Structures are given as structure tokens and as C-alpha cells.
Amino acid sequence: MSPAAPARRGLTLLELLLVLRRRIGLVATILLVGCGTSLGVTSLVPKIYVARTLVLFDPDRGRPGEAAGLAPGGVDSALVDSQAKILASRSLAREIVLNLGLMEDPELRAPLPSPDRLIGTLWQRLAGAPEAGADTDSGEQPADDPTAELVDRFLERLKVAREGRTYVIAVSFKATDPEKAARIANAVAEHYVLGQLASKLESAQRAAAWLGERLAAAKAQHEADLAALAAFRERAVSAGPERSGRDGERLVQLERELVAAGIERAAKEARIARLKEQIRRGEPIAPVEDLASSTLLQNLNALKAQSLRREAELKAEYGDRHPKIVDARREVAELQARIEAEQAALVREQEGLLLVARAKEQALQRELDRVKTRAAEQERAEQELQTLQQRAEISRRLYESYLGQVERSAQGEAAQRPDARIISEAVPPSAPDFPRPRLVLSVSLTVSTIVALVAVYLAELAEKGFRTPEDLREGLGLAPLAVLPQLPRRGAHGPETHIVERPGGRFAEGIRAVLPSLLGSPSGGPGRVVLVTSCLPGEGKTTLAMCLGRLAAAEGLRTLLIDADLRRPRVRELLGAAPRPGLVELLRGECTLEDLLAVDAATGLVVLPGSRRLAQPTRLLGPDGLGRLLDACRRRFDLVLVDTAPLRAVADARLIAPSVDRALLVVRWGTTARDLAAAALADAPELEGKLAGAVLNRVDLRKAALWERPGSRSARLVLAGYYGE
């Protein structure tokens, strides 16, 4: 049988708080261990102090005659970063190590404490061994540079960084002594500023010498340019500008004439082509004003036309061989020959005119090219003159510029100032930078909290038991009939005695709450047969069956309790009765029911004890064995409780299930695994539809309060008063 468990909803904030509340001990332990360990480690780690000096890089301050302050255009960001690199350079570090006498400083001979060296340092301190680097003998140094290792250690402690996008550079130094840290940080800044001043003075002297050389060279160049300009002007032709003007006018006129000649030549070529086309087609040539022969051709064409008409008339009157017709044809041929001769002469005449036009155009082109060549030469001469003038002007300005720079350099050499200044000197720090107790504590608290939450999550995952009635409903799909508290053991008196002594207590009321779900019978018979079982041994099913039977009997119901656990019968032990034959002997027919029934004197509960003999449980517990007995008892008793073996142990409960009306599952609080209980029910399909519900047994009320919602605790306290507990 597979219980239809409802889908689990998401974890709410209230449920998360309840989880943390019940795991508060685990969380507190992890937090205390984590924070205590971090504080202990912090106390053992050597303290490192950091002193900080601020240097402002301002090139305008170093310019003679300029007021201090940043230029309106600002300073190049790369230039500021470059100065920061100079502050952190090995050359400056070596200079400070030598000037401050740090060659024998034991602190520089040891590596800077860092988190990766923390474990080794702590182990050495706890073991009593000397710390690494504490020995003043640092070993052999490189022969070429004995300060190399000290400079490396110095640079490990030195930090130079630009402050955001400003022109301020922060110089920090780490040391175990706050006074030493401040002194060295200030020394780095001061050496940098003094080095800048010395560099500027040296640069100014080199610049003055260079400017002197450049001034002499510029003066010589200017004089040479003036001499070249004067020589060119002497060679220039005095009439050059006038000739240049006349050439310009002539150039324009020749271009116009050349265009006109080209148009005339094109017109003649077109006319010749048209004449040749008319001649080829045999069309009459129209008279042209400048061609006299065109009129003669027109007349010849008219005579030819008359001859052709006369020839046509004669043909109509005479035959083709008539002398008049022959004369007419000869006349037409003569006229055609003259026409062709005149046409050829006309074409030759036009071609001659075309040759004249072409010769004129070529002459104009040659004259135009000659004038253009002369104009280009004149233009080159003017450009050369202009170039010489520009060179003379540039050399003059360069000479004057160098002259002014030499004068300003002479005036400002004695007024040089560094481009940087210290705006905040380092002071001995009052608190260490490493380790920082607050930071370490906050980090350890954060890490411990994360570890604690993971531990809580793993603890919740490892929680496999049933803690609340809702767990029964969600995990098994069964109605939680009762939640029975764990009763304190008082000598030989157990829950079966407590229910008699305290019939109005919480435990008795929990047992009483189970009865309504068991008294209804689906078969409609007079009696109710209820199977009481559990998943595993030790969950309290026998004790619950005993308490349920005593309470039902005390309520006036005719109740029979049958101990059907053939392997471990315990009902006789709970009653304190002497060993005697039991259920096995009855089912085998060795005795009668009346011989075996025992009556509880305190409540009137009738008990059929079990037997320590184990014989053929499958046959005895089947329908022909225990089934017949239950049918007989159903007619005699109001309620028959059958205490059977656990589901996961043997198949006894499955054998008895078809013969009962109801089944009751006992689940031990916090012990019975959910997956195991679900698997046990799934493996017992005979219980399908007969399970009235489940009872959460042996609940530790003090611990169970951790799984309760806030309102449930107040309700539990009110009910405790109601029960008189």
C-alpha cells in the first residue's frame, strides 16, 4: 500500500525560525567555537601597524613664477601613476635602507607576516620553536648587491597607491613598531620630494646648456636664410611681375581662339561628312553660301532631271532604239559625269578648308603651350621666393623663441621647486592594521554562521523520524489519532499502570481519543476487531494495546486483548501473570478459550495471553486459525484488540489483516524512520482501507516543543493545566 502523501509546500519564514530555534544549541556551539578560535588566533599573531603619508603631485607648483595649485587643464593621469611607480621603485627603497641604517634591522630580515604564513607561525609559537626570520643571521647575500634581499623585504612592507582619480598619492609602510612605520613612511615621501628637486636642478642646468647650443644654431640658420633670400631677389628679373601679367592675358585670349578654332574645325569635318553621305545616297546638294560650286551642281541636277523627263516622253512615243532616245540617254550620262566631277571638286575644296582649319588650331595649341610653360616657370619662381621668405620668418621666430627661453631659464634656475609636496605627514597609528580583531571577529562570525546554517541543514536532512502529527499525515497519508507523551518510569509501574491511576491525565485522554476511530465497524457486525501493530520492535505497540484495552474496559466496553505476537509475547509480562499455555495452544486445540482467558482486576479487561511456543504461524494466524477465533470473539466482545508482530519483522500482521475490521499503526516519536514506515505500509497491501490512523507514541514533550509553532506552546500549557499536570 502506497500512502497518498500530500505535496509538501515551501518552507516559510516561520518554519525556518522554528528550525533555528530547535537547533539553537548546535548553532551556538559552532558560533562559540568559531569566534573563540578566531580570537585566540588573533592574540597569537604578531601585530602589524601601518603608517600613511599623503603626497600631492602638482607640476604647476614647480614652475618658476607660477602660483601653487593645479593647472586649469589638470594633470595627465598617466603622469600621476608614473610618479607612484617612482615612489615604489627599488632605487628609492635602496636609498632609504642605506640612509636610515636599516641594514641591520631584524624586522627586515624576516618575511612580512601574512595569512598564508599564519598557520606556520602559530605552530612555531605553540611548539616553542624560534620564528622564521627571527635569527639576525640572514645567511649569505649576493656578492653583487648585498641589499637586494633587504630591499625586497622593504618593498613588501611599502605600498604606494593613487587616491582614486585625484593627484594625491598615498605612501603606506608596515612595521611591528608604530613609530618606525611612521618614520619610514615620512622618509619615503621626503626622499621622493628631495629627489625631485635635485632632478629638476640638474635638468635645468642641462636645459640651459642645450638652449645655448640651440640658440647659436638658430641664429646661424636665420642668417643663412636671409642671405639666400637676398641672392634670389638679385637674380630675379625686374620685369617679371609685368610679364607675368601680360602672359596671363595672352593665355586667356589664346584659350578663347583655340576653342573657336576647334569649333570651326569640327564644323568643317561635319560638313564634309554630310556632303559625302549626300553624294553616296545620290541626293542633291543644297546650295551653301560659302560654296559657289554648290549652285552649279544644283543647275546640273536640274538639267539632268529635264533630260530624264524628255527621255521618258520619247520612250512613250518611240522605241528603245530610236536615235532620239539614244541621244537623250547620252545627254543624261554626260550630265551625270559632270555632276560627279563637280561633287568631287566640292569635296576636295572642303577638305582643303579643313586642312587650313586644323593647321590654325595646331598653331594656336603650340602658342598656348609655350605661354603656359613660361607662366609655370614664373609661378615656380614666385613659389621659390615665397618659400625662402617663409624659411626666413620661421628661423627668425625660432631664434627669438630660443632667446626668450634662455632668458627665462636664467631667471628661474634659482627658483626651482619640486613638483610634489607632502600634504599629510604620517603619525604613529594607534591600532594595528593586521590582525584586526573586529574584522577577524566579523569574518569568523560570518563563516561560523554559514557553517552553522549548513550544519542545521544537514541535521534537518538527517532527521528521518516523525516529530509532529503533520509528519504522519504528510509522510504516511494517515490521520494522526493521538500524540502520547513519554511517561516517566516509576519502578515497575509503566503506562499501563498510569492509565489506571490517572484516568483524567493527558496520557489517558490521548488514549481515549483513539477509541472513536476504532469503534465503527465497516462489516456492521456486533464487535470491532482492531489490529495493533508497528513498523519496528520497541515502538510501544504492546503497551498501547494494553492501555487502550484497559481504558476501553474501564469505560464499560467488553474488551478482549489478544497477544498475537507469537515470537515475543509481552502482555502476560505486563499483567504480571505466571507462565501458562496461551494462544498457540488454543489454536492447536490443546485447550479451550475459557481455560486461557484472564481478567484484569483493576479494569475488567479480558486478556488472551500469548504463548512462548512458536509453531506454524502461517497456518495458525490465517483465516482457518485465528480468523475463526476472531469471528467467535466478535460476537462476544464489543472491542477485540489484536497485538501482533511488527510489519518489518515478520508477515504475521499481513496474515491477520483480512480477519480484522480496523488497523492501528503505532509510530515512535523521533525514532521510526519515515521512509521505513512508508515502505512497511507499501509492503502490506492487506491493510489497504483498514488503517484507522496512526498514533505518535512516546513523545518527549520538552523536546517536541521545539517543533511546535509559537501558538502551540501556549495551548499546550493551557491544556496541561486543564489535565491537572
Could you give the CA distance from residue 186 to residue 112 in angstroms, rounded to a whole number? 20
Distance (Å) of CA 554 to CA 378, 494, 508, 602, 603: 144, 18, 11, 8, 5
73 exposed, middle or buried (CB, 10 Å; 0-12, 13-18, 19+)? exposed
For residue 75, how far is the Cα from the chain centroid? 35
Side by side, which strands form the sheet with 420-424? 158-162, 168-175, 49-57, 420-424
Residue 172 is predicted with a pLDDT of 93
Distance CA 508, CA 547 (A): 8
Strands 662-668 and 528-534: parallel
**C-alpha–C-alpha distance, residues 300 and 345, integer Å:** 14
* CB-based contact 170:429 (threshold 8 Å): no
- The neighbour count for residue 119, using CB atoms within 10 Å, is 10
Residue 39 host element (H or E): helix 24-44
> Which parts of 167-311 are beta strand (E)?
168-175
The radius of gyration computed from the CA coordinates of the chain, to the nearest angstrom, equals: 64
As a whole number of angstroms, the distance between CA 199 and CA 204 comes to: 8
Report the distance separating Cα 109 and Cα 94, nearest Å.
Answer: 14
CA distances to 18, 120, 173, 709, 720 from 706, rounded to whole Å, are 7, 44, 54, 8, 17
Which position has the grid cell 640658420?
Answer: 221
Q: Which fold has domain 469-723?
A: Rossmann fold (3.40.50)
Place of cell 582619480: 165
Looking up cell 578560535, which residue turns up? 37
For residue 225, the Cα-to-chain-centroid distance in whole angstroms is 67
C-alpha 129/C-alpha 120 separation (Å) is 11
435 cis-preceded (ω within 30 degrees of 0): yes
**Three-class DSSP labels, 174-234:** EECCHHHHHHHHHHHHHHHHHHHHHHHHHHHHHHHHHHHHHHHHHHHHHHHHHHHHHHHHH
The helix/strand/coil state of 696 is strand
Looking at the chain, how many residues does it have? Answer: 725
Q: 561 by DSSP, 3-state: which? A: strand
Contact between 704 and 669 under an 8 Å Cβ cutoff? The reply is yes
pTM: 0.47
How far is the C-alpha of 226 from the C-alpha of 388, rounded, in Å?
A: 8
3-state SS, residue 388? helix
**Fold match flag (240-415 vs 469-723):** no
pLDDT of amino acid 117: 55
Per the rule left: phi > 0, alpha: psi between -120 and 50, beta: everything else, 262 is alpha
pLDDT under 50 in the chain at which residues?
A: 1-8, 65-69, 71-73, 129-143, 239, 289-290, 292, 522-524, 715
Residue 463 to residue 458: CA distance in whole angstroms: 9
Whether residue 393 contacts residue 148, with contact meaning beta carbons closer than 8 Å, is answered with no
pLDDT of residue 523: 47
The secondary element (H helix, E strand) that includes residue 161 is strand 158-162
SS3 169: strand
Of 671, 640, 686, nearest to 525 (Cα)? 640
Contact 559, 641 (CB under 8 A): yes
Contact 549, 562 (CB under 8 A): no
| Nearby residues of 180 by Cβ (< 8 Å), 6 or more positions away | 107
pLDDT of residue 116: 53
Q: What is the pLDDT of residue 581?
A: 78
Map out the domains of the chain as residue ranges.
Answer: 49-200+417-432, 240-415, 469-723
Phi, psi of 560 (to 5 degrees): -120, 130
Q: Which amino acid makes up residue 337?
A: A
User: Rounded CA gap, 287 and 180, in Å?
Assistant: 122
pLDDT on residue 243: 54
CA distance 98 to 110: 18
The whole-angstrom separation of Cα 115 and Cα 547 is 65
| Sign, CA torsion 350/356/358/360 | negative
Distance CA(242)–CA(225), nearest Å, equals 27
Domain 240-415 of CATH type 1.10.10? no
Residue 108 dihedral angles phi and psi, to the nearest 5°? -75, -15
DSSP 414: G
The pairing of beta strand 420-424 with beta strand 49-57:
antiparallel
Q: Are 165 and 80 in contact (CB under 8 A)?
A: no
Class of domain 49-200+417-432: alpha beta
- Using CA atoms, how far residue 595 sits from 425, 557, 589, 598, 601, in Å, is 108, 22, 12, 9, 17
Count H helices and E strands in the chain, helices first: 25, 12
Is there a contact between 42 and 440 (Cβ–Cβ < 8 Å)? Answer: yes
Q: Contact 212/403 with Cβ under 8 angstroms? A: no
Contact of 620 with 644, CB cutoff 8 Å? no
